[in-house]
Chains A and B, each alone.
Chain A
Amino acid sequence: MASAPPPARGRSRRLSDRGLAVAFISPAMLLLLAMSVFPLLWALYLSFTDYSATRGGPANFIGFGNYTAILTSAQVHTRALTTLIYVVGAVGLQTVLGFGIAYLISRRTHGRGVLTTLFLVPMMLSPVVVGLFWRFMLDAQFGVINSMLGSVGLGQVEWLTRQRTALLSLVVVDTWQWTPFIMLIALAGLTAVPKYLYEAASIDRASEWFRFRTITLPLVWPLLLIAVMFRAIEAFRLFDLVYILTNGGPGVSTETLSFHIYKVAFLGFNTGTASAYGILMVLVVIVLTQLYLRYLNKLKEG
């Protein structure tokens, strides 16, 4: 029977596995604490005060004053509705289109890689570049879109300066950029569906629609829902496209919650109110995500 090897000579306690792990992890942990956890806790503290970053002065404790003001504000309700319309519109459209494109691509045997890469290009671009690019495209006077509409005999559309079309433009541009994300996830799901299920269905002479409804969709659905969740969270925080494309206009028609927070935080420097606003948004995302994940888990169990 072999005896246990003696401990390495000269191995100090500082070089133990545990010590090494702590040494390697602690810089990252400290950075995380300093850059994420501390500001979050500080924002939570400020959300109960009337602090202003520029005016300085003491941070007077005002309890839930900021939260009450936000939750009862008609302005916030309007922005919440705008954000909801945008999220539902954009994510819904992206899901339908993304899944549709993925389904069509998955049925191709040739050129699938090239097509996938081409479809992914919009997603690679910076939202600011996308915003500026579409701002020129949608310009009522000099834009390509109106020029094309004019060439087929249709009139000019004021894409970015009319209430309904401005929000629609945001949905369209976001859809153009982020449909590939849904497509990519859906494509991964579609290619993972076992082939033998389709072969069995073919032997049973199942129709195309039947195969789609009973095999493809149920197997891809959970993955698609995860993609929808990621997109919905991102869309809920929409800021950059609004800033570049419409600046919240006309009036405040396209002013989303994130854009409104920016104004509260930096135009009036009402840091306390902006912090409460931010905390509330985080809470909304967490609660909705939890509910959504529960539904997903139930779906899995089912």
Chain B
Amino acid sequence: MQLATAAMLLVATTVAACGDGKDDGAKASAPKAPATIPELTTAPQTLSFIWFDWPPAQALEAFANTEYKKERPNATIKVNTVPNANWHDAMFTQFAARKTDFDIAILDSQHIGEAVTNGNILDLTDFVKENIDVNAYNPYLLAAYGQFPQAETGKRDENASLYGLPLLGDTWTMIYRKDLIGDKPPQTWDQMIAAAEKCQADNPGVSGLAFHQANGSDAAAVTYNTVNGVYGGNLWDSKSRKIDGVLNDAAGQEAMDVLVNKMKPLTAKGSGNWFIDEVNAAVAQGKACIAFNWIAASGGLLDPKQSTLGTTRKQILDKLGFATLPSQKTNLVPLGGMGMHVSAYSSKEKQAEALNFMKWFERADVQKKWAAAGGVPSRTDALESPEFLNAGPFNQVYTDSVPRMRDMWNVPEYARLVDIENTNVNAALNGAKKPKDALDDIAKEQQSVLDSSSRKGGGGL
């Protein structure tokens, strides 16, 4: 690994070298998937996914191999996983090589733009028209996980192209200690901070808050975006592609001030690099009064083997409560989750199998089974079904949060934009930068990325 960087550079250049050098990137859109599913093979075959390593990945593989095999006994589902921090790179370096060892990429909503403009995934518009009942979904979810270009509001555009279908919905849940702050969750952000402050003061050794602060993946960025949304801020003006002056306006600055000066002092010392696992560990070990985490990653909190809060699920649930995020000036919550997208470089046989899988997966009965198996569905009927609502104490939180969701910018430059935001918010949270400077730097640097993306020439530093 000492040569890791050199090796990666080597891979990138070799990949470039292997390209034919022709203008294949100039194609503005992805190749089209057929409207009807081509004839499927009867020979044994493995349909490969790529995702990051977390419980839903294992749940998907187990679920698909149990249920999909009933319809397609010759098909085996393999969900390849990589660490969360490598997820984007693992997919896009293969896309760059124009050859993938996966057939279905599970892309974050913000990755779609990059994949579509590079022609890496299939355009599913015709396929969806023929095979999927789009009215069965909350339009915002369908747009977030499949549509490109996507408006900031996330509203589905009937005329826009679809490149993916929902796999797993997600948002943040507030996890609170019922035994320490009471049964009733705080309703506003200010109340939440006050409750955390009091709880921390009353319970030495327990921190008031636990949330994502790390500078990897989108950890610190989502945290800031959440507070920004709650305090009425905007991430950008999508029409004019303006970030500088929008993100760092008065509302944005107030959000940064709340995050760094009011929330951060209530967190555990050294928690500046915490992400999903660390927040869960703090809750499970009884070290946090109130925490925020992705719902899809919260299942382990109810496992007595991983918790010091009780020896049974019931004992844990007597202490832990799950609620939708408090509101303040607005009631926005972050959109998480991912969609399924077919690799343009997969073989025709595998693409056909992938389309068949997606059609099967989006069926109403399968979505309910997926919900019962621990998945978070996107079809409205499944979201409101008893199978989903009774499957976990946080599932009602998700259903209630769907109308409140807001996504980040869904543009091809996403990877660089989120890195800029992550590093600067992380710097502010850890005292390496003043909050106002961090916010202004984010706005300035992100604006520069957006502006330079349409220009020819070097750059990208």
Which A residues contact B (CB, under 8 angstroms)? Answer: 35, 38-39, 42-43, 46, 50-60, 62, 65-66, 68-70, 73, 75-76, 126-128, 139-141, 146, 156, 158-163, 234, 237, 239-240, 243, 246-253, 255, 258-259, 261-276, 278
Q: Which residues of B contact A43 (CB under 8 A)?
A: 9-10, 13
Residues of A within 8 A of B424 (CB): 251
Contact between A271 and B12, CB atoms less than 8 A apart: yes
Question: Are A250 and B270 touching (Cβ within 8 A)?
Answer: no
A55–B5 touching, CB < 8 Å: no
Whether B427 lies near A251 (C-beta < 8 A) is yes
Tell me the B89-107 residues at the A interface (CB within 8 Å).
89, 92-93, 95-96
- A267 neighbours in B (Cβ, 8 Å): 88-89, 415-416, 419
Minimal Cβ-Cβ distance residue in B for A48: B458
**Distance of A57 Cα from B118 Cα, bound (Å):** 10
Task: Tell me the minimal C-beta distance from A210 to chain B in angstroms.
Answer: 40
**B window 403-461: CB within 8 A of A:** 413, 415-416, 419, 423-424, 426-433, 438, 449, 456-461
Given contacts A50-B457, A55-B25, A57-B25, contact A249 B273 (CB under 8 A): yes
User: Which of A53, A156, A262 meets B269, CB within 8 Å?
Assistant: A156
Q: Are B16 and A271 in contact (CB under 8 A)?
A: yes
Other than the given A158-B272, A263-B419, 14 more pairs (CB < 8 A) read A39-B13, A46-B16, A53-B12, A57-B24, A156-B270, A158-B270, A161-B430, A247-B216, A251-B426, A262-B5, A262-B8, A271-B16, A273-B459, A278-B9
Contact partner of B457 (CB less than 8 A), chosen from A62, A156, A158, A269, is A62
Contact pick for B458, options A58, A69, A162, A278, CB 8 Å: A69
A250:B5 contact, CB within 8 angstroms: no
A269 proximity list for chain B (CB < 8 A): 12, 92, 96
Contact assessment for A52 and B25 in the assembled complex, using a CB-CB cutoff below 8 Å: yes
Contact A62 B2 (CB under 8 A): no
Instruction: List, sorted by A's number, 26 A–B pairs whose CB atoms are closer than 8 Å.
Output: A39-B10, A39-B13, A42-B16, A46-B13, A52-B25, A53-B16, A54-B95, A54-B120, A56-B19, A56-B25, A60-B457, A62-B458, A139-B270, A140-B271, A158-B430, A161-B273, A243-B4, A249-B273, A250-B426, A250-B432, A264-B460, A266-B8, A266-B89, A268-B413, A268-B460, A276-B458
**With A and B bound together, what is the CA distance between A259 and B430 in angstroms?**
20
* Complex contacts, B460 vs chain A, CB 8 Å: 264, 268, 270, 273-274
Contact A59 B17 (CB under 8 A): no
For B9, the chain A residues whose CB sits under 8 A away are 43, 261, 265, 274-275, 278
Q: A56-B19, A65-B458, A247-B214 are in contact. Are A240 and B269 (CB under 8 A)?
A: no
Checking A46, A163, A262 against B430 with a beta-carbon cut-off of 8 angstroms, the contacting residue is A163
- The residue of chain A having its C-beta at the shortest distance from the C-beta of B285 within the complex is A142
9 tightest A-B CB contacts, nearest first: A140-B270, A56-B25, A251-B427, A270-B460, A161-B272, A250-B430, A57-B25, A66-B458, A240-B1
Q: Find residues 350-378 in chain B having any chain A CB closer than 8 Å to their own CB.
A: none
* CB closest chain-B residue, reference A237: B5
**Contact call B216/A239, Cβ cutoff below 8 A:** no
Known contacts being A269-B92, A271-B12, is A249 close to B426, with CB within 8 Å?
yes
CB closest residue in chain A, given B424? A251
Q: In the docked arrangement, what's the CA distance between A278 and B5, Å?
A: 9
* Residues of chain B contacted by A271 (CB below 8 angstroms): 12-13, 16
Min CB–CB distance A286 → chain B (angstroms): 14
Assembled-state Cα–Cα distance A8/B436 (Å): 86
Cβ–Cβ < 8 Å partners of A39 in chain B: 10, 13-14, 17
Across the interface, B1 reaches (CB within 8 A) one of A54, A127, A161, namely A127
> Closest Cβ of chain A: how far from B415's Cβ, in Å?
4
- Which bracket fits the contact residues of B? 35 or more
B26 in contact (CB, < 8 A): yes
CB distance from A39 to the nearest CB of B (A): 5
Residues of B within 8 A of A275 (CB): 9, 12-13
Q: Which of B8, B413, B423, B459 contacts A249 (CB 8 A)?
A: B423
Bound CA span A100–B35, Å: 73
**CB nearest to A127 among chain B residues:** B1
Q: A54 and B96: CB pair below 8 A?
A: yes
Alpha-carbon gap, A276 to B218, bound state (A): 28
A246 to B215, CA, bound (A): 9
| Chain B facing A: main interface SS | helix
Q: Which residues of B contact A (CB under 8 A)?
A: 1-6, 8-10, 12-17, 19, 21-26, 85, 88-89, 92-93, 95-96, 114, 117-120, 214-216, 268-273, 282, 287, 413, 415-416, 419, 423-424, 426-433, 438, 449, 456-461
Residue of B nearest to A51 (CB): B16
Closest beta carbon of chain A to B75's beta carbon, Å: 30
Asked if A274 and B12 sit within 8 Å, CB to CB, the answer is yes
Within the assembled complex, what's the spacing in Å between the Cα atoms of A17 and B119? 53
Q: How far is it, in angstroms, between the C-alpha of A247 and the C-alpha of B85 when the chains are bound?
A: 9
Q: Given known contacts A42-B13, A126-B1, is B461 in contact with A251 (CB within 8 Å)?
A: no
* Distance to closest chain A CB from B176 (angstroms): 20
Q: Which of A128, A160, A247, A266 contacts B92 (CB 8 A)?
A: A266
Contact: B432 with A251, CB < 8 Å? yes
A250 touches B427 (CB 8 A): yes
Distance in angstroms between the alpha carbons of A209 and B153 in the assembled complex: 76
Chain B residues in 8 Å Cβ range of A265: 8-9, 12
Given the known A-B contacts A247-B273, A251-B426, are A50 and B458 also in contact in the complex, defined by CB atoms under 8 Å? yes
Residues of the B chain whose Cβ atoms lie less than 8 Å from the Cβ of A56 = 19, 23-26, 118-119
Instruction: Determine the distance from Cα of A76 to Cα of B13 in the docked complex, in whole angstroms.
Output: 21
Known: A39-B10, A240-B4. A55 touches B416 (CB 8 A): no
B218 to chain A, nearest CB (A): 12
B432: chain A residues within 8 A (beta carbon):
163, 249-251, 253
B12 contacts A264, C-beta separation under 8 Å: no
Instruction: Check A239 against B4 for contact (C-beta < 8 Å).
Output: yes
- B5, B85, B419, B433 — most chain A CB neighbours (10 Å): B5
- Given A53-B16, A271-B12, A274-B12, residue A141 in contact with residue B21 (CB < 8 A): no
Complex Cα–Cα for A240 and B22 (A): 35
**Residues A141 and B25 in contact, CB atoms below 8 Å apart:** no
Say whether, besides A53-B96, A249-B423, A251-B215, A69 and B461 are in contact (CB < 8 Å).
Answer: yes
CA distance A51 to B20 in the complex (A): 13
Q: Answer whether A141 and B287 are a contact pair too, CB < 8 Å, given A128-B1, A266-B93.
A: yes
Which residues of A lie under 8 Å from residue B423 when comparing CB positions?
A: 248-249, 251-252, 255
A240 to B8, CA, bound (A): 12
Q: A54-B92, A266-B89 are known contacts. Are A162 and B8 too (CB-CB below 8 A)? A: no
